[in-house]
A and B are shown apart, each in its own frame.
Chain A
Amino acid sequence: MTLLLEALCIALLMGGLFFFLTGALGLLRFPDTYSRLHAVTKADNVGLGLLSAGLALSAADFQSTGFMALIWLLVMASGATSAQLLARYQREQDQQEPPTDGDR
């Protein structure tokens, strides 16, 4: 039973790491801001979620599990909201300036 639990824990942690890696790769390779937003939110939601699920399996007490769940929920809400805000900001910039202008 403990072996199974440990295997599951490691699998979840690896899954979390995988999503962080893909998020990083997407942040590097995707062509424009909107698709990069898409990549980063995956790392936020799924990556951190899997990671804290894996940690919760091996956690000693309920308090730390609850804390991690709280942090994960917060990061998910924050990720979703700030992705929206950033996308709106970017669209506003795109509309105001010709896209050749580059920064800002």
Chain B
Amino acid sequence: MALLIALTALTMLAAVWRLLNGPTTADRLLSVQMLGTTSIAVLLLMAEWQQQSHWRDVALVLALLGAVISAALVQLLRPVQKRDPARQRGQS
């Protein structure tokens, strides 16, 4: 069981490589999503291995927040439309 967890955790290395090397922001967010899914898998395996149910709670929160991250960051990262600078300045 521990070996299975270790191997699953090792697959995260690929996501980390992609996260470090890009090349696009979408790739990075994608790797974050992959990391999240793999973390969930590791947590579920750990819950079974150590017979502790808290890890499933953590996995649930991670799944929810992972969904929020990719949705929120995509919306935040979309470029700000060019408006007339006067209004932008006027606000500050």
Contact = CB atoms under 8 A, between A and B. Distances in A.
Given A67-B60, A86-B26, A89-B74, A27 B31 contact: yes
Main secondary structure of the interface of A (DSSP, over half): helix
Chain A interface category by residue count: 35 or more
B74 A21 contact: no
B8 A85 contact: no
Main secondary structure of the interface of B (DSSP, over half): helix
Interface of B: 4, 7-8, 11-15, 17-18, 22-27, 29-31, 33-34, 37-38, 40-41, 44-45, 47-48, 51, 53, 56, 59-60, 63-64, 66-67, 70-71, 74, 77-79
23 contacts: A13-B4, A17-B4, A20-B11, A20-B38, A20-B41, A21-B7, A21-B11, A33-B24, A36-B18, A43-B37, A43-B38, A44-B34, A47-B41, A71-B44, A74-B63, A78-B33, A78-B63, A79-B37, A85-B70, A85-B71, A89-B26, A90-B26, A93-B26
